[in-house]
A and B are shown apart, each in its own frame.
Chain A
Amino acid sequence: AQTVTQSQPEMSVQEAETVTLSCTYDTSESDYYLFWYKQPPSRQMILVIRQEAYKQQNATENRFSVNFQKAAKSFSLKISDSQLGDAAMYFCACGSRLTFGEGTQLTVNP
């Protein structure tokens, strides 16, 4: 069984600033993947970034990076140079069947 917890229902950030979204998880799988998905108001699910648990190096995708702490089962998302288009609901997910967290609604203030 897997569980994913996002403890921040809402976050806000000023445009061009940096924000970090938190996620913790629990899984019985020995090898697994972690994901951050973005859901804008259109409700489309868009993959932001993916981390393979066996890799020590934190994944980076342009302005998006993760801080993966395997022992602590923590997988936070850092958004640098925030843009208005980053405003959305962000979901953390774990495993091959994608167990999702509750989501964090990110607001970007101009």
Chain B
Amino acid sequence: EPEVTQTPSHQVTQMGQEVILRCVPISNHLYFYWYRQILGQKVEFLVSFYNNEISEKSEIFDDQFSVERPDGSNFTLKIRSTKLEDSAMYFCASNFDRDTEAFFGQGTRLTVV
């Protein structure tokens, strides 16, 4: 069964460093998403991406965040200068159509120290 794959599963980084979280969505999917879940809290939408551009972003997705689909298979989330409060689980998701089931990856746990 096709699945969304995220790497790494866990990343530890120092405050102020740049991190790139990687995702490989399901191959025939057209819509891609990043979500964040701070420990013990709800899952929060960050950004959606379609047709090689951001289609929607939340207020959380400020200038320190960026997304890219560099090669037609990977979908990355970059955090330019990490802060302690960026520590969270980051989920990538994809779907074929906006209103169909979004398949989630297993998440990347980011710890900023």
Task: Of the listed stretches A42-50, A66-74, A75-83, name the one at the interface; the rest are far from the partner chain.
Answer: A42-50
Whether A99 lies near B45 (C-beta < 8 A) is: yes
Per-residue B-contact encoding for A53-74, CB less than 8 Å = 1, 0 else? 0000000000000000000000
In the assembled complex, B101 has its CB within 8 A of some CB on chain A: yes
The interface on chain B, measured as residues whose beta carbon lies within 8 A of the other chain's beta carbons, has a size of 21
B79 to chain A, nearest CB (A): 19
The interface on chain A, measured as residues whose beta carbon lies within 8 A of the other chain's beta carbons, has a size of 22
Chain B, interface SS category: strand
In the assembled complex, B107 has its CB within 8 A of some CB on chain A: yes
Report how far A83 CA is from B34 CA in the complex, Å: 31
Closest chain A residue to B46 by CB distance?
A97
Closest chain B residue to A33 by CB distance?
B99
Whether B42 lies near A45 (C-beta < 8 A) is: no
Contact partners of A93 in chain B: CB under 8 A: 43
In the assembled complex, B89 has its CB within 8 A of some CB on chain A: yes
Whether B48 lies near A47 (C-beta < 8 A) is: no
Closest chain A residue to B57 by CB distance?
A97
Whether A103 lies near B42 (C-beta < 8 A) is: yes
